[in-house]
Amino acid sequence: MRTRSRAACIATAAALSQGPAWSQSAAPVDPTPTLRTVTVNASADASAQGLSPEYPGGQVARGGRAGILGTRDPLASPFSITSYTNQLIQDRQARGVGEVLQNDPGVRVARGFGNFQESYFIRGFILNSDDVAYNGLFSLLPRQYIATELFERVEVLRGASAFLTGANPGGGGLGGAVNLLPKRAPADPLTRVTVGAASGGQGQVAADIARRFGPDGATGIRVNAAYRDGGTAVDEERARLGVVAVGLDWRSRDVRLSGDIGHQDHRLRRTRPNVSIAPGVASVPAPPDASSNFAQPWSYSNERDVFGTLRGEWDLTPAITAWAAYGLRRSEEANSLANLTVDNLGGTGAARTSRFDNAREDDVDTGELGLRGKFRTGSVGHEWVVAASAFSLDSRNAFAFDLFPLRTSLYAPTAHPQPPLGATTFFGGTLGSPLRTTRTRLQSFALGDTLSMMDDRLLLTLGVRHQRLDLGSYDYTTGTQLSRYEAQRNSPAAGIVWKASPELSVYANYVEGLTQGESAPASAAGVPVVNAGESLPPYVSKQKEVGVKVQRGTLGGSLALFSTTRPRAYVNAASVFTAGGEDRHDGLEFNVFGEAVRGVKLLGGATWLSAKQRDTGSAATDGRRVIGVPRFQASVGAEWEVRAVEGLALDARVVHTGASYADAANTLRVPGWTRLDLGARYLMEVGGRLVSLRARIDNVGDRNHWASSGGFPGAGYLVVGAPRTFSLSASVDF
């Protein structure tokens, strides 16, 4: 904010309280020898690097975490990373990770298969929300929806990342990774209360309280709590969320520790489900009215999570630092769903649905150990890292699928009584006491080095990670092991940066991604598969990328050209399930951020994608586009500080997604869409307190559209976009 007025000064202080902050200077020097003064930086990850400072405009940070390499300045990194700040989260009134990622031109939000889990297309590849990292560790946060009260930053690492982060436990992440940074106490006391309301009668109250204690404020605590309840802009849909998180940190001269513990309870009632298209339907139906609801009145989804992390660093010498991290999650889910399948268009949208109940319990434990250091060999500098990681997931599942179809319609839905679970129901285990059905064990060891030459203008990063995958599946009813998948793989990475000037760098990288291979199905097209149940070797995706990054004054941007391949599998003419062919995603990304001129902020960009299936073994799909991936997508946002009205800022965002396909043969075309979002923010002083008023309208034109197609490999289900949605909030800093 400008320093032209008292209110603007208060706004500046509020913004700074959310980013890096330092304690007051120590007392005047006494001639008596004392320990070195500890400077407290509100670090989100207990690292000496601390939280990256904000770029002018405050919407993104100057750096982000590149996995085991730590936080890197963008101009010195051979990878594409954007770190969205808490200031952006608040100003756009984003309530979940997906709403933050709407600002990223390379990401599109989809939904899980048969549930309400968020999924994200990054460079056209799927990343599920339960594979999001928290403070560098995978799968610790709530599996289906993550509230923004839990984090300070949203970091998007674009591209394959097996060396940097390890293989993703859920088998995704080939197009990129998302890491969330927890909140830490700033140097100055913080007490903020927020109340809000949104379309459908949704109410919200939240509190954010932080303090630092002890000599030089070396100990910090931050508590966030929020409660939301009520309807939504969709008819008869209701959502309730309760969340609380506590973040602690402590620093001495050589040691830094942090810890987090949180609880989230998320309950959905009559949430609008996915829409599938039955075989034989020749075209995609027109989207229904954006406010309409075809969910059955008895459908629901409940999720409850407890999670925590511990992280520490110890400076063994001035040049060598050791770190360790541990995290856990304990989750319970229960739902009764009724997804829709359109089976007879004829202009009527005739459809069928059925009851599907599910119960799930997850136990996640994960950890990481590492050493990082620096040394020189002549004129060449080295920043080396050695790290080891382990991940464990035990998942217990049970389901009940009622085979009796209920007739309804996409446009004129019919409400049915909840069918009983009985003679027409197929059970998988016991809902009240699910057995273990999935076991995932991942271990890895990584070694990397960044060499700096020519006065640190040329940087070369080399690394390799040895990964071991051990996966087991178990029978729903008996708990006996059905299969075990064990594989090992070395995943290399190489990147180079040429810093042409302090404001411009050119980079290139080669990185591999790693996921478990698919299992052979029992049959294909009604014919038994010879090697049914056999698991293929790990899938190795290969990425090549070149790009340029610019940070000139208050405006920054990047341009990247990339190509990523992902192996495919199919059943050949001999009825053998085999690896063959690939999905190839070639793309061009453009990003811009910062202040274009005084008082005008820009954030967004565009992505061009050519995502095609190659050598599929079928003439119907060979050369066709990948399900759910458009050729072009863009998110462009601008914010204007109205100088004529002190404390007022207006913002607008245009989100465009081009046409895609809902089937591998590209016969079901899903139209593209464009939506406009508008917002306003007003800062004022009331009784010496900073008051922030925010108003927002998403989807101003109330456009009816299919927001996404797909979100699970090989499935082209559709999700109706949200209608016009109003939201208001008021925050007071005490």
Residue ranges in the chain whose pLDDT is less than 70: 1-46, 345-347, 522-526, 533
- Report the distance separating Cα 206 and Cα 552, nearest Å: 38
Q: Which residues of 398-418 are buried (b: 16+ CB within 10 A; e: fewer)?
A: bbbbbeeebebbbbebeebee
- Report the distance separating Cα 271 and Cα 238, nearest Å: 7
The CA R_g of the chain, rounded to the nearest whole Å, is 26
Q: Which residues pair with 555 in a beta bridge?
A: 552, 594
- Report the distance separating Cα 85 and Cα 53, nearest Å: 10
Place of tokens 């830094």: 256
What is the token pair recorded at 123? 């460079």
Q: Which of 84, 142, 153, 89 is nearest to 117 (CA)?
A: 142
- Report the distance separating Cα 29 and Cα 17, nearest Å: 28
Asked whether the CA dihedral 154, 159, 165, 170 is positive or negative, the reply is positive
Contact indicator for 132, 180 with CB cutoff of 8 Å: yes
Place of tokens 């080939």: 174
Alpha-helix runs per DSSP H in 375-422: none
Annotate 683-703 with DSSP letters as a single string. Answer: EEEETTEEEEEEEEEESTT--
What is the token pair recorded at 113? 């298969």
Over 11-31, what HEC string results?
Answer: HHHHHHCCCCCCCCCCCCCCC
- Report the distance separating Cα 458 and Cα 2, nearest Å: 37
Domains of the chain: 6-24+36-425+438-733 (2.40.170.20)
Q: Which of 61, 80, 57, 77 is nearest to 69 (CA)?
A: 77
What is the token pair recorded at 39? 């400077």
According to DSSP, residue 88 is labeled: H
According to DSSP, residue 712 is labeled: B
- Report the distance separating Cα 244 and Cα 584, nearest Å: 42
Q: Which of 224, 189, 201 is nearest to 90 (CA)?
A: 224
Q: What's the pLDDT score for residue 40? A: 40
CB within 8 A of 377, min separation 6: which ones? Answer: none
Instruction: Output helix, strand, coil percentages for the chain, rounded to the nearest 5.
Output: 5, 55, 40
